[in-house]
Structure 1
Amino acid sequence: MTTLYITGAGVSAESGIPTFRGEDGFWTIGSRNYTPQQMATRTMYEENTTEFLKWYYHRFVTYRHHGPNEVHHWLADKLLVTQNIDGLDGKAGNDDYISIHGRIDKMTKYHVQGEDVEIETAPWGLVDETNLTSSLLELFKISSKGPELNVSLKPFVLLFDEFYTDLYGIGRAQKRMWDASKIVFMGTSFSVNITQMALDIARHKDIPVEVVDPEPTHILHSQVKYFPMTAKEYIAYGKDT
């Protein structure tokens, strides 16, 4: 049996990284003038780059040194697609996982979506927090004109108003979904397109699905089993059964 694991923010909570929709979640804290859903967009990056980069730095980049937890290590030899951008699955030793929404430690040239560009290491270690605005603009090559195509740099993260491309591994992820004989969703609220895509394929193939979450989202599927627990509790449950 080929089991595909699709993970969300709940898996990284044990590592001290906020989930997206909890009380301290990424999507509950915006900037002074904008909601998170307005901030995390390509439009904001293009039209108010300073605000975007400062928000992104404070809300995501400050967690870049956190380490993997027991669940990440358990998933290290599993077939995995993660929605998380924290890179913890790689730190835990999974060399073939797909980070379908990008990585906080990476960046690309600002480009037209769908184009093939190189993924580079982000220069977060060079940021001067005492001169945060000017430092970020300089490091990401943002001129007074704003972001310039194929010149400026952009965090390697899929934003709300962007779409899945092969740069983010969508082709590989879909193949894993079609090849799977079981899909396990861990720590996700089913509120993003990738989980709906996987669920549609599971329905089409009529394969078993497991939903692991303390408050699992109930889904329409003929073969679904719910585990109302954390991912850490789930792997302990598996060892005991």
Structure 2
Amino acid sequence: MSNTLYITGAGVSAASGIPTFRGEDGFWRIGSAHYTPMEMATRAMYQHNPKEFLAWYYHRFATYRHHGPNDVHHWLSDKNLITQNIDGLDAKAGNNNYIAIHGRLDLMTEFHNQGEAVTTHPAPWESIDEGNLHASLLAAFAIDGEKPQLYHSYKPLVLLFDEYYTDLYGITEAQQRMLSADKIVFIGTSFSVNITQMALEIARSRSIDVEVVDPEPVQVAHAPVTYHRMTALEYVQRMG
């Protein structure tokens, strides 16, 4: 029996009206008044300037929290899936067993040292007062002073650039799924994050077939590779 693993990126949510990361309107092209996106999306920024971090995160991600899944998410709803997206649209589409390897927009955790076991809690976005955004965000994430406090404040469940994969994000299960796959299909990803490189290394070492779905696919150093030069939506329409 075939065991295909799908690894998705921002391209699968484009049809839901959510910007990709590196397009002209992408998340990594839009910073704050004083910082670049690459500076904003760090644990260091959250620790030292949580007001700026949370405001940026709210505007760039949480404002899309009511968007719904598209046909790609519904097609993937019964598939073996790892997604880089934090939008939670795969859950909305009914996939109850997918791995959100970079976190979930709808969840937060107690602020903790990386690698420690913690529980998740619903993110407080509906309580945010946009008319008093900074103060409202700080209060919602229990940040009483200028900096978050360990085991008291909260942090969005998102893997930041200066953090590493832990089991909070399902890394052990993700690696097991890669190792047991007989095909890995990458959909709508730029291959610029560690999880895709990890999957490619496993595919090379175990001679796993690889497919890449993207209108302008990145050429990957692996053989064999089948390229589908189309959008995620076109791909699932073709697959039926």
1:208 and 1:4 mapped to 2: Cα distance?
Answer: 11
Match of 1:178 in 2: 179
Q: How does 1:1-241 map onto structure 2 within 5 Å?
A: 1-239=2-240
2:225 and 2:125 mapped to 1: Cα distance?
Answer: 42
Q: How far does residue 143 in structure 1 lie from its aligned partner after superposition?
A: 1.7
Percent identical pairs in the alignment equals: 67
More displaced, 38-47 or 144-153?
A: 144-153
TM-score by length of 2: 0.99
2:84 and 2:20 mapped to 1: Cα distance?
Answer: 11
1:30 and 1:122 mapped to 2: Cα distance?
Answer: 22
* Number of aligned residue pairs: 239
Cα offsets for 1:68-120 (capped at 9, x unmatched): 00000000000000000000000000000000000111000000000000011
Cα offsets for 1:188-211 (capped at 9, x unmatched): 000000000000000001111000
Q: How far does residue 238 in structure 1 lie from its aligned partner after superposition?
A: 2.1
Q: Give yes or no for contact 2:50–2:146 (8 Å, CA) kept in 1.
A: no
TM-score by length of 1: 0.98
2:219 and 2:238 mapped to 1: Cα distance?
Answer: 21
2:220 and 2:206 mapped to 1: Cα distance?
Answer: 16
Q: How far does residue 223 in structure 1 lie from its aligned partner after superposition?
A: 1.1
Question: Which secondary structure does the structure 2 equivalent of 1:225 belong to?
Answer: strand
AA aligned to 2:68 is: G
2:208 and 2:156 mapped to 1: Cα distance?
Answer: 36
Q: Give yes or no for contact 2:115–2:166 (8 Å, CA) kept in 1.
A: yes
1:128 and 1:236 mapped to 2: Cα distance?
Answer: 41
AA aligned to 1:116 is: A
AA aligned to 2:184 is: I
Q: How far does residue 237 in structure 1 lie from its aligned partner after superposition?
A: 2.0
Cα offsets for 1:6-35 (capped at 9, x unmatched): 000000000000000000000000000000
2:11 and 2:23 mapped to 1: Cα distance?
Answer: 10
* Over 2 Å off, 4+ runs: none
AA aligned to 1:83 is: Q
2:195 and 2:217 mapped to 1: Cα distance?
Answer: 17
Question: Which secondary structure does the structure 2 equivalent of 1:12 belong to?
Answer: helix
2:77 and 2:115 mapped to 1: Cα distance?
Answer: 29
1:232 and 1:204 mapped to 2: Cα distance?
Answer: 30
Q: How far does residue 145 in structure 1 lie from its aligned partner after superposition?
A: 4.4
Question: Which secondary structure does the structure 2 equivalent of 1:22 belong to?
Answer: coil
2:103 and 2:222 mapped to 1: Cα distance?
Answer: 29
AA aligned to 1:114 is: G
